[in-house]
Amino acid sequence: MALSTWQALSPLQWARWGWGTLLGGAGDGDSPGSDPALGLLRSLSWGSRHDNMISATDDLIYSMCVCVCPSEDDQKEKSLSHHTIQQLIMEKDQALSDLNSVEKSLADLFRRYEKMKDVLEGFRKNEEVLKKCAQEYLSRVRKEEQRYQALKIHAEEKLDRANADIAHVRAKAMQEQAAHQASLRKEQMKVDSLERTLEQKNKEIEELTKICDELIAKMGKS
Q: Tell me the pLDDT of the chain (222 aa) as tens digits.
A: 444 444 444 445 555 555 555 445 444 444 434 444 444 445 445 455 555 555 655 565 555 555 544 445 556 666 666 777 788 888 888 888 888 888 888 888 889 989 998 999 988 888 999 999 989 999 999 999 999 999 999 999 999 999 999 999 999 999 999 999 999 999 999 999 999 999 999 998 988 888 888 888 888 776
Find, among 3, 12, 164, 157, the residue nearest to 84 by Cα.
12
Number of domains present in the structure of the chain: 1
- 43 in a domain, yes or no? yes
Q: Is residue 69 part of a domain?
A: yes
**In a domain? residue 31:** no
In angstroms, the Cα distances linking 123 to 25, 81, 132 are 44, 61, 14
| Domain that residue 111 falls in | 3-22+36-124
Sequence letter at residue 75? Q
Q: CA of 111: how far to CAs of 42, 106, 121, in Å?
A: 18, 9, 15
CA gap 51, 59 in Å, rounded: 12
